[in-house]
């Protein structure tokens, strides 16, 4: 999957498949899409909340969401990326300890009401 264009090319497995699952989970609203009834994490209720609250809540939700996968052992080293967190965006990096080793993840969420 090419993350910027969200297009899927070819087949992958192992560590790359896990990275794709992580990205899709982080950016899919939980319970909204019929094709993903138990996939993703709730985000809409965070719109309009203070960034410090959203940051702490995202950490909890990311851990809860990703640890469900048997390939994920733990989620650690969360960091708020201030230089990438614009007015209506919040960027976080963290490490996923998996059966394939450590995977470094960085993601940005946009919390403006135009994207609901």
pLDDT at 1 over 50: no
What is the average per-residue pLDDT within 41-57?
89
What is the average per-residue pLDDT within 112-116?
49
pTM: 0.83
Q: Which of 32-41, 54-63, 67-76 has the lowest mean pLDDT?
A: 32-41
User: CA–CA distance from 54 to each of 26, 70, 80, 115 (Å)?
Assistant: 14, 27, 11, 16
Higher pLDDT, 63 or 11: 63
Identify the pLDDT of residue 37: 80
Identify the pLDDT of residue 107: 96
The percentage of the chain sitting over the pLDDT mark of 90, rounded to a whole number, equals: 58
Q: Confidence class of residue 52 from pLDDT cuts 50, 70 and 90?
A: confident
What architecture is domain 14-115? Roll (3.10)
What is the Cα–Cα distance from 43 to 38, expressed in whole angstroms?
A: 14
How many other CB atoms are there within 10 angstroms of residue 67's CB atom?
A: 13
Mean pLDDT, all residues of the chain? 87
pLDDT at 18 over 60: yes
């Amino acid at each position: 999957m090419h993350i910027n264009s969200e297009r899927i090319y070819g087949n992958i497995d192992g560590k790359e498949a896990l990275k794709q699952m992580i990205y899709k989970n982080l950016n899919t609203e939980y319970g909204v899409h019929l094709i993903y009834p138990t996939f993703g994490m709730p985000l809409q209720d965070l719109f309009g909340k203070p960034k410090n609250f959203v940051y702490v809540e995202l950490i909890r939700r990311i851990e809860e969401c990703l640890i469900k996968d048997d390939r994920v052992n733990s989620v650690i080293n969360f960091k708020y990326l201030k230089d990438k967190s614009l007015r209506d965006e919040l960027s976080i990096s963290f490490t996923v300890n998996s059966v394939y080793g450590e995977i470094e993840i960085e993601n940005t969420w946009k919390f403006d009401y135009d994207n609901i």
